[in-house]
Amino acid sequence: MTQTLDIERELCGHAAVGEAAVTVDGDRVVAFVVPAGGGLSLRELRAELGTEPDEFVVLTALPLAEDGQPDWAELSRSRKDLTRRRMPYTAPRTDTERYLAALWEDLIGVEDIGADDDFFTLGGHSLLAVRIRMRLQRDHGVTVAPEALFENSVLSEQAAVVDRTREA
Amino acid sequence: MTRTLDDIDLTDRVLHSTEDLSEFWRDLRHTKPVHWHQPADGGTGFWVLTAYEHISAVYRDTKHFTSERGNVMDALRAGGDSAAKRMLSLTDGRRHTDVRSILMKTFSKRGVEQVGERIRGITRGLVEQALERGTCDFAMDVAAPIPLMAICDLLGVPEEDRWRIFDLTSSMVASETPEHTQKDAWRNKNEVLFYFANMAEGRRVEPRDDIVSLLTGAQISGSGLTEDEIIFNCYSLILGGGETTRMSIGGAVVALVQHPDQWRALKNGDVSVDSAVEEVLRWTTPSMHMARTAVADVEIGGSSIRAGDIVTLWNVSANRDEKAFELPDAFNLARSPNKHVTLGGGSHFCLGAHLARLEINSVLTSLRDLVSEIEPVGEPRRIYSNFLGGVCHVPVALR
Ligand code: HEM
């Protein structure tokens, strides 16, 4: 238990984290975090933590129970919901797929994005799609049409669109 | 045909533009002013408030209601707005006050007067052009460019990009055809957000005298606004500033054509333009509804609203409530008092109220000073939406 408290304390003190609640489920330490407002890269967060949880769940708000403590039942539901929306993990295969997987992980706040994961199913929305377009423009010099991202929401499809646009 | 509670679906975007619902609203106000509505699609149900008294109370009740999950029916029923807490209208409490006071510099009465001369000049020019041509589509030729030019001047959007932005935004909340694809809406919203994301990046490096620079440079207790807040607020200003006012201006001309006595009263100077602006706002009510989510159980008009429930506030009904307005179905430019809810109320009261009034005022003033007769030369066309109501085409002859 002191381990979860330590992680929680460290998370709450981190500039990029607004709120955090940490718990143990079976043999896994799960950290629920609400970003402070700007971007929150779980990769960077891991690199800066003394003790890391096994799993992160990023939320827009921390649900509270009547007594003002975190609502653990609701948190567990959010976590299950997220797991349900994931596809079985297929490692990204090309450079573009690996680039996009890392980008999605940072933007959506979900770890271990695979080639079969779906942008919308994982909670991707317009502004995140805008971020993807901005980064592709900056890092790869390609301007992808928004409808192409809408129609190709699976990571491997999206990577194919980026490759095709770059070649065109 | 009078519609009844059972066969109407308020989420239907075609319904509001093809049917006159005034009987239906009156019925609801009298029989069930706080009504639970279960739409035909089987999705999330919601409360429908139609009485002026209840609606203006909910606008002011920040203890029981929040805007932070969304403020229109569709977004709330879809599970919440993706811009929640990152756009002024979808932020409550301290953060709302802080962000609002940054923007208030530009949108105060004095702030908007800075573009007053320019807007009045543009309006005069557009009405003169319409007079020269003889006939025009008042909604497209006059009503559309005025708010577009005004908000783009303020935001710092260059002339050459403005009509592209107009095309993208005008099809976003409403459409001119009953068929409206989700993909088109998503694509257009994305393009507009992308546009402002790029613009904000530019202004960070090279600030100018415009709202985008104001937002990129703003500080709240030592830290800047987040990238999301900047982009979503620009988006909300271009949408909120353009579409609604366009509906009011187009609707004003339709109303003046239908009420020749009121046109004469305006023309002869029997009513002040200021008072006419308020009646135009009440009569046209472009934001047909707004919505909130209850955060605590509360009773309204004998009905128990539970925490978590979606509550929709039908401004179109409140503005015709016989308990709040004398002869509410009369278009009366001299109406006083005229405390309509067209611009909302309470802490989220329309930020662009002074600008909207200035724009409508410039149109009524130019019509009064330059035009002697307005004649319809075709049927006005309404837009399709369950949120924004009004006309997108108004063919008239001006003399
Ligand atoms: C006839 C024209 C207009 C109408 C009918 C209208 C209507 C409204 C309404 C009903 C609200 C309240 C929303 C709520 O309670 O959730 C509102 C808020 C707002 N309006 Fe307007 N509006 C108009 C023009 C404008 C213009 C010209 C601008 C800006 C350039 C603008 C920007 C805003 C903003 C930013 C808010 C949010 C304010 C806050 O949450 O503090 N509006 N408007």
- Other beta carbons less than 10 A from residue A80's beta carbon: 11
Which amino acid, one-letter code, is at A37? G
Beta strands in chain B (DSSP E): 34-37, 46-49, 65-66, 135-137, 219-220, 223-224, 289-294, 298-300, 303-305, 310-314, 374-376, 381-382, 391-393, 395-398
B308 pLDDT tier (thresholds 50, 70, 90): very high
pLDDT at B41 over 90: no
Task: Tell me, yes or no, whether A48 and A70 share the same domain.
Answer: yes
Per-residue model confidence as pLDDT tens digits over B209-225: 999 999 999 999 988 99
Q: Which amino acid is at B367?
A: L
Q: Do A129 and B197 touch (CB under 8 A)?
A: no
Q: What is the per-residue pLDDT for A1?
A: 63
- The count of structural domains within chain B is 1
What span, in angstroms and rounded, lies between the C-alpha atoms of B25 and B122? Answer: 38
Residue B1 has pLDDT above 60, yes or no: no
Closest CA to B169 of B9, B383, B395, B312: B383
pLDDT value, residue A43: 87
Share of chain B above pLDDT 70, in %: 97
Q: Which of A58, A82, A106 is the last residue of a domain?
A: A82
Interatomic CA distance for residues A146 and B183, integer angstroms: 10
Residues A102 and A142 in one domain: yes
Non-local CB neighbours of A129 within 8 Å, separated by 6+ positions: A119, A146, A149, A150, B190
Report whether B396 contacts B377 (CB < 8 A).
yes
pLDDT digits (tens, 9 = 90+) for B113-125: 999 999 999 999 9
Say yes or no to pLDDT of B261 above 70: yes
d(C-alpha B263, C-alpha B63), whole Å: 44
Range of the domain at A78: 2-82
Query: Touching check for A89 and chain B: CB below 8 Å?
Result: no
User: What distance, in Å, lies between the first and last C-alpha atoms of chain A?
Assistant: 56
| A90 in a structural domain | no
Is A152 in the same domain as A126? yes
Instruction: State residue B2's pLDDT score.
Output: 59
Minimum distance, in Å, between the CA of residue B83 and any CA atom of chain A: 8
> For the domain that residue B97 is a member of, what is the CATH number?
1.10.630.10
Tell me, what's the pLDDT at B268? 96
Q: Report the pLDDT value the prediction gives residue B49, as an integer from 0 to 100.
A: 98
Average of per-residue pLDDT across B47-71? 97
Report d(CA A18, CA A33) in Å as an integer.
7
A152 found inside a domain: yes
Least confident of A18-27, A134-143, B168-177, B305-314: B168-177
Among A82, A107, A135, give the residue marking a domain's end: A82
Nearest CA to ligand 1 atom 3: B244
- Burial letters A95-111, b for 16+ CB under 10 A, else e: ebbebbbebbbbbbbbe
- Per DSSP, B181 falls in state -
DSSP secondary structure, B344-371, as one string: --GGG--TTHHHHHHHHHHHHHHHHHH-
For B18-32, how does the pLDDT look when each residue is reduced to its tens digit (9 = 90+)?
A: 889 999 999 999 999
| pLDDT at residue number B309 | 96
pLDDT at A84 over 60: yes
Please indicate, yes or no, whether residues A71 and A113 belong to a single structural domain of this protein: no
Stretch A60-87: mean pLDDT, rounded?
Answer: 89
- Pocket-testing residue among B282, B351, B358, B360, ligand 1, by greatest number of atoms within 8 A of Cβ: B351
Q: What confidence tier does B78 reach under pLDDT thresholds 50, 70, 90?
A: confident
Separation of B189 CA from ligand 1 center, angstroms? Answer: 18
Residue type, B52: Y
Q: Which of B291, B295, B315 is nearest to B305 (CA)?
A: B295
Of residues B256 and B83, more confidently modeled: B256
At B262, list the tokens: 């009121």
Rounded CA separation B339/A167 (Å): 60
d(CA A153, CA A139): 20
pLDDT at A93 over 70: yes
Ligand 1 geometric centre to CA of B160 (Å): 26
- Cα B298 to chain center, whole Å? 28
Query: Is the per-residue pLDDT at B179 higher than 70?
Result: no
Atom of ligand 1 nearest to the CA of B247: 1
Identify the CATH number of the domain in which residue A58 sits.
Answer: 3.30.300.30
Pair A77, A99 in one domain: no
pLDDT over 70 at A68, yes or no = yes
In this predicted structure, the answer to whether residue B386 has a pLDDT above a threshold of 60 is: yes
Measured between CA atoms, how close is B253 to chain A, in angstroms?
A: 36
Question: B226 — contact with chain A (CB < 8 Å)?
Answer: yes
| Cα four-point dihedral sign B50, B296, B64, A33 | negative
* Ligand 1 pocket list (CB less than 6 A): B 67, 71, 88-89, 100, 151, 236-237, 240-241, 244-245, 248, 286-287, 290, 342-344, 348, 350-352, 355-356
User: In Å, how far are A74, B19, B119, B158 from B124, measured between CA atoms?
Assistant: 59, 34, 9, 22
Query: pLDDT at residue B13 above 90?
Result: no
Does residue A105 share a domain with residue A46? no
Could you give the maximum distance between any two Cα atoms of chain B, in Å? Answer: 60
> What is chain A's mean pLDDT, rounded?
90
Q: Which domain holds residue B122?
A: 5-398
For residues B392 and B383, is the Cβ–Cβ distance under 8 A? yes
The total number of structural domains in chain A stands at: 2
